[in-house]
Amino acid sequence: MKKGKKTMTKKRTVAAAALIVLLISSCARLPAPGTSPRLAAPDGGWVARTLKKMTIEEKIGQMVACRFAGSFRNADSAYLRELDDLVAKSGIGGLILFGGEVYETAELTNAFQKLARVPLLMASDFERGTGNQVTGATLFPPLMSLGAAGSEELAYGMGRVTALEGRAMGIHMAYAPVVDVNINPDNPIINTRAVGADPGLVSRIANAFIRGAQDNGMIATAKHFPGHGDTSQDSHSLLPTIEAGLERLEKVELVPFKAAVDAGVRAVMTAHLSVPALDPTPGLPATLSAPILTGVLRQKLGFRGLIVSDALEMAGVTNAFSTEEASLRAVLAGVDQLLLPPEPAKVIAYLAGAVRDGRISLQRIDESVRRILETKAALGLHRDRFVRIEELSRKIAPRPFLEQALKTFESSTTLVKNEGGALPLAAAGGKIAVLSLSSDLGDYFAGRAFVTAMRKRFPDAAAFYADGDTGQEALDKAFTEASAAGGGTVLFALFSKVSAGKGSVDLEPKHVDLIRKFAALENGPAVVVVSFGSPYFLRHFPETDAYVCMYRNTPETQDIAARALTGEMDVAGKLPVSIPGLYPVGHGIVLKKRIP
């Protein structure tokens, strides 16, 4: 019996040891929390074998990417059936996430990957982190906030968190960072999406984001080549023209792109812009221009990565070209992947016909498909294309990621003007009125979180709300009641979104007039303005007492603004753009935290 017990014990010990080894080896195959696969040298053998097996249609399919939403749909919905056909039958090479939830996004990326013969390249517009598109993921401020903070460490951290969360949900590529140099205060579509107006600052911050993303397994995309920062028009609605000469382009617009290429960025997105200094062809978008994409980007800047178009559904292209013609011209110009072409199956058939009748060579198609396959191999998708749903609760929005984002929001807060020591607001005493003014229709309560935060500190604060549709009578009433604050303070919270097709990010003129009326009062209240959007608003009312830039409207920025106004935190951000005629790039007043 004793000998039998010994033998049994020994067997159990061996079995336990084997189980431990098995568990360890199994865990080794799973990415640890907070880590992600590194980008690697592509598997040339897999790329060559895959390319060799493809038909012309399958090759062209790899060059097309379509949209999907990470939200619940019944498996039998027409929406999912259409996407399933594009993946399984048309063989598209990629999908682009436009909004969704964490678990639904991951479930769908796995489902689509299962259907695809060749792994899909999944991408999304993660300009403000994964939270920019996925509810519940970590949300960062826009890149102009990074410019205001001036911190490469924060920019790297933002890129890292974006990569780790994105890869956990099955997204491999961020259409970020924006490296446009925003030198036009009236730019309606770039504005706070850009780092700033100084090419050196843009390069430094953007490259840190690129390193953070690519060091942690996500393809970064520098956009919008050759530079969308000097226009007052939106390429979603029409074709803007950049009138600058070659010398200015080389000193401003092209600088961050050259820096990004030198830093090893893996992808560049084109712009739907006419740039006569680089290609004088009338009405030709850069997306369709061989002199710009092949001549400047490939040959002059030496870029060897993936060129992706901006969305081919945008009016900057569709106003002058059919989808088929635009797609053919884009590929001839040097584009590797066509994003969001209307009727993608028709585009694939059209381009296949163009190869067969000699309008485009098979060699040109193979060049792009090889780059796409190399990108997928560098991501390791040929070995494992699926994500592990059970890990999402640990990998998405953990406390360290949220703290990283909060620090980024806080560090960007910029005090531009503070006449007569209007800030910080006194801890007690004096009347406070808060006017939330949104220039967007239907956004009446845009400043609700700010009003709530201020009333926690000043319980008797009066509050007024208006949006772009609020009538003059209501604004006059707000003026009458708020001006009764006498020697107190009137706080203006200003909101105007950057959004496609809107045409402007400026303020509603009636709101500007209201602020000016308060500023003109003799012995009236101190006028403090907080911009939760464009920093350029101050041009309309330079006579105000204090001006603070937050660069974005989120619940976080509204709470941080209240803390900044009342001296509960250090304020040290610097303007990443100039406010014409008033303040230069780099201006900012340091306001130290009030000691209790």
Catalytic residues: 236, 310
At 591, list the tokens.
């306001």
For residue 274, what are the contacts with CB-CB under 8 A and spacing of at least 6?
239, 240, 241, 242, 282, 283, 284, 285, 286
List, in order, residues 6 or more apart from 208 with CB less than 8 Å away. 152, 153, 155, 156, 159
In this structure, what are the phi and psi dihedrals at residue 144, rounded to the nearest 5 degrees? Answer: -60, -30
Q: How far is CA 361 from CA 20, 309, 383, in A?
A: 56, 20, 31
Rounded to whole angstroms, how far apart are CA atoms 191 and 179? 12
Distance set, CA 163 to CA 35, 38, 213, 398, 431 (Å): 9, 10, 5, 14, 47
DSSP string, 297-325: IIIIS---SEEEPSPTTSHHHHTTS-HHH
Q: Residue holding tokens 């303040």?
A: 583
Distance CA 337, CA 309 (A): 6
Tokens of 116: 């695809």
Burial of 52 (0-12, 13-18, 19+ CB in 10 A): exposed
Rounded distance between C-alpha atoms, residue 361 and residue 23, angstroms: 52
What are the angstrom distances between the C-alpha of 310 and each of 22, 119, 129, 326? 47, 22, 19, 12
From the number of C-beta atoms within 10 Å of its C-beta (0-12, 13-18, 19+), residue 541 rates as buried
**Rounded distance, CA 414 to CA 537, Å?**
14
d(CA 24, CA 460): 61
> How far does Cα 306 stand from its chain's mean position?
19
- Alpha carbon distance 213, 159 (integer Å): 4
Pairing of strands 546-549, 414-418: antiparallel
Contact 176, 208 (CB under 8 A): no
How far the first Cα of the chain sits from its last, in Å, is 76
| Amino acid in position 543 | E
